[in-house]
A and B are shown apart, each in its own frame.
Chain A
Amino acid sequence: MISTKKSLATFVTVWIVSSVLVIAIITLIASLYISNEHKRNNKQMSEQLQYLVEVQSLSNSLNKLVSDFRGYLAFGRQEFLDATMKEKLSFDNELGEYSRKQTPDDYKDLLLRDNMYTQENMYSVEAIERLWAQYSQLIEQAIVLKQKDEQDEANQLSKEETTPVINEIFRQFNMITERQNDNVDQIMNENRLFNRLLYYLLFGFSAGLALLGFFLVMFMKRSLIAPINKLEQHVQLISQGDYIVIPSSGRLDEIGQLEIGINEMSRLLKLRLEAIEMSRVEVTEQRDELEAQNEEIMAQQEEQESTLLIIRQREYLIRQIIESIYEGLLLCDHNGHIILANDRISSMLELDIREGIQVDELLIHIDQGSDSSNLMFLINDIRANLPSLQVSNHIQFNYKSKNGENLYFDLYMKTITKLQDNHNGYLFVFRDRTEEEKVNEMKNEFVSVVSHELRTPLSSILGFVEILLQREVAPDKQKKYLETVFKEAKRLSNLIVDFLDIQRMEAGKQQYHLSPLSLIELMQELADRYNSSSTHRIHLEWMDDPNQFIVSGDYDRLFQAFDNLLSNAVKYSPGNNRIDVIMNSDGNLIRVHIKDYGLGIPESSRNKLFTKFYRVDNSDRRKIGGTGLGLVIVKEIIGEHNGDINYESVLSEGSIFTVTLNRVVNGSDAK
């Protein structure tokens, strides 16, 4: 509502402008008037001064005239006369002009010259004119007289007539001058008055302005500054957060508008603030929510990470297992593509087996290195029946390695249903059983050796008995045959016994019943048996106290061991029938030395002497026979007694076998 709204600015402006205008106008008018008057005065003054000058000039001219006239009169020179005439003429003109100026032309001028001096001057001028006329005449008379040379008359005329006239003229001139001077003075006074008025006017104007300014300030203070200060305070409060409402002063001007505006602003600010606060609260809530969600997510992530870690560790573990096992592992998909292969399978088969290779092609490769036929069957089966092949079986094949070694493998195959995306997968496990085969071979070898060892004496036995049964044989031959049969049968029997002993010992089923026994007694019994029946003489001797030779042992087994040693000693010294058995004790140990003076043992046999079926490779010895198991048994038995067996030998001189056993002290084991 612009029309009803009063504007302070307008108000103030109007007031200021009008005040200033009023003052200005007043001042203007006043100064115009004063200036006018001033001008008039000045004009008047200059006029008067002009008149003064003219009067002075007239006076001077007259003076000069008079002087020249008097000079002529006195001296009668022509130039005085000329000058006088000239000056008389010019003065005449001058006066005429001056008079004319003094006479007002019209009423306007009359009004203007409406002062007393002017009027009086007019009378003077008139007087002067009359007087001049007189004087002129007189001068002319004088001059005529002078020309006539009537000097005295001239002089008299001059003195009596002209001089008083001149004096009177001069007097009039003086009066005019005085009056002019007075005029001028008057005018000057008027001027001064006007000047003073002007000063007063200026002063008044300034004062008026100052007053106006003062009122303005007061007004402003009241109307503008005070309310603005108040507003400012309020704004200050608002800015500090106190959204107060300014009491309205009811004014309709700018201040009023400002109040309204500030109130509105304050109200809006308050609203905004509240809105912000609300949204802040909302935001905080949302943020809390988000934080909570975030925490959840992080927790999930952590879980996932730890799960992932577990999975990775698992994968690593599984991978380690796959790579560490002794078997070669192959996994292929339903199309026969290999999807997993451990390093072992590549090294095992000396091929570069990687993911992506076709499994049947790999098998063909393997087949090329093998002379087993079952690989081909497998390959054909795979080619025919993949991807729906159901298999869980096991084949064996051999395989030639690059360095010519014969290797043996087990191959286990299994279908894994739903390995990937509902398709089958196939697991191939290759096991290197070369070692087992070798062991088998060794066992077979062993069996065949045993079988050979068993069959050989059996051959002789059966053979001779067959001959004896089939035909007539001379009695001496008969005897020989039967002796051979007996010997071989015995040998066979020993072999079987020894062999079974070894088997039992090796199976760990041989039981040893240990108890304290006297080695001397044992050796004595053995020696007696040999001495009574065999071809050799056993010479037994011991050093030290017989009680030193107590050992903890199994009597029968130790008997068997020493029996074997003695039997060997006897067998392998065909040329000498003396066997020495020497026993001595050495701290906690007992040593039994069995010394023969026979064939001796070559050093090359040392490694194999105590192995199964080993007999020294020499035709002399082969003749002697034996099972080759005796020393094995001895070693086994002595070993079970925590003892030790060793030998020294010199070829063709004999051997000493030394058994070391632990002594028993006072009935307890001093091991």
Chain B
Amino acid sequence: MGTYQVLLADDEVALRFLISETLEDEGYQLTEVEAGDEALEQLKLHTYDLIILDYMMPGLTGIEVCDWIRREGGSNATKPVLLLTAKTSMKDKERAAEVGITEYIMKPFSPTLLVQIVNKYLPKID
């Protein structure tokens, strides 16, 4: 039993810093990428336990990445995918649901909340 592997894709330095600090503190192992295509590369190479995607990224958006994951993600296909976004409209939420986003997290978000959600899908094994 190792640590959970989490893939984080976000183009914002500060956010990546925040999330990595938060989750690594919880004991998760984080892999950070800055863009959607990079995320894809990583997903093709490794299997993760959880994937956190920013919506707006250069190249592929979080939605598009999730869509890929669910269809061609292979081992990652069924893994929980969290979407971080500032988009608030119903349409975006519907779209997210369509592509199989597991959780839709609005920015700004509380790190505590994030931890709770991640724990939900990656239960701590004592």
The residue in B14, B35, B59 that gathers the most chain A C-beta atoms within 10 A of its C-beta is B14
Do A463 and B22 touch (CB < 8 A)? yes
Contact string against A for B residues 1-14, beta-carbon threshold 8 Å, 1 for contact and 0 otherwise: 00000000001111
Q: Which residues of A contact B112 (CB under 8 A)?
A: 466, 470
Do B108 and A617 touch (CB < 8 A)? no
Do B58 and A463 touch (CB < 8 A)? no
Contact string against B for A residues 615-630, beta-carbon threshold 8 Å, 1 for contact and 0 otherwise: 0011100110100000
The stretch from B64-72, B81-89, B95-103 touching chain A is B81-89
Give the CA-CA distance A466 to B59 in the complex, in Å.
31
The stretch from A125-133, A454-462, A501-509 touching chain B is A454-462
Q: Which residues of B contact A444 (CB under 8 A)?
A: 89
Q: Which residues of B contact A619 (CB under 8 A)?
A: 11, 34-35, 38, 58
Q: Nearest Cβ distance between residue B117 and chain A, in whole angstroms? A: 14
Interface residues in B86-123 by Cβ distance below 8 A to A read 86-89, 107-112
Do A622 and B18 touch (CB < 8 A)? no
Q: Which residues of B contact A391 (CB under 8 A)?
A: none
Bin chain A's interface residue count. Answer: 20 to 34
Give the CA-CA distance A625 to B14 in the complex, in Å.
10
- Select which of A448, A454, A466, A487 is within 8 A of B14 by beta carbon: A487
Tell me, yes or no, whether A488 is within 8 Å of chain B by CB.
Answer: yes
Q: Nearest Cβ distance between residue A572 and chain B, in whole angstroms? A: 16
Interface residues in A316-356 by Cβ distance below 8 A to B read none
Q: A-B contact count, CB below 8 Å?
A: 84
Decide: A456 near B107, CB < 8 A? Known: A619-B11, A623-B13: yes
Do B58 and A622 touch (CB < 8 A)? yes
Classify the interface of chain B: helix, strand, loop or mixed.
loop
Give the CA-CA distance A21 to B59 in the complex, in Å.
158
Classify the interface of chain A: helix, strand, loop or mixed.
helix
B58 and chain A: residue at smallest CB distance: A617
Give the CA-CA distance A466 to B109 in the complex, in Å.
10
Do B11 and A452 touch (CB < 8 A)? no
Q: Nearest Cβ distance between residue B59 and chain A, in whole angstroms? A: 7
Do B87 and A448 touch (CB < 8 A)? yes
Q: Which residues of A contact B87 (CB under 8 A)?
A: 448, 451-452
Interface residues in A431-471 by Cβ distance below 8 A to B read 444, 448-449, 451-452, 454-464, 466-467, 470
Do A458 and B21 touch (CB < 8 A)? no
- Select which of A448, A480, A625 is within 8 A of B86 by beta carbon: A448
Interface residues in A575-625 by Cβ distance below 8 A to B read 617-619, 622-623, 625
The residue in A455, A484, A488 that gathers the most chain B C-beta atoms within 10 A of its C-beta is A455
Give the CA-CA distance A532 to B34 in the complex, in Å.
33
Do A452 and B85 touch (CB < 8 A)? yes
Q: Which residues of A contact B22 (CB under 8 A)?
A: 463, 467
Q: List 12 A-B contacts (CB under 8 A).
A: A448-B86, A451-B87, A456-B12, A457-B14, A460-B14, A461-B108, A464-B18, A480-B17, A481-B21, A619-B38, A619-B58, A623-B34
B contact set with A: CB distance below 8 Å: 11-15, 17-19, 21-22, 34-35, 38, 55-56, 58-59, 84-89, 107-112
> 8 smallest A-B Cβ distances: which pairs?
A460-B14, A452-B86, A455-B86, A459-B108, A463-B18, A459-B107, A455-B107, A622-B11
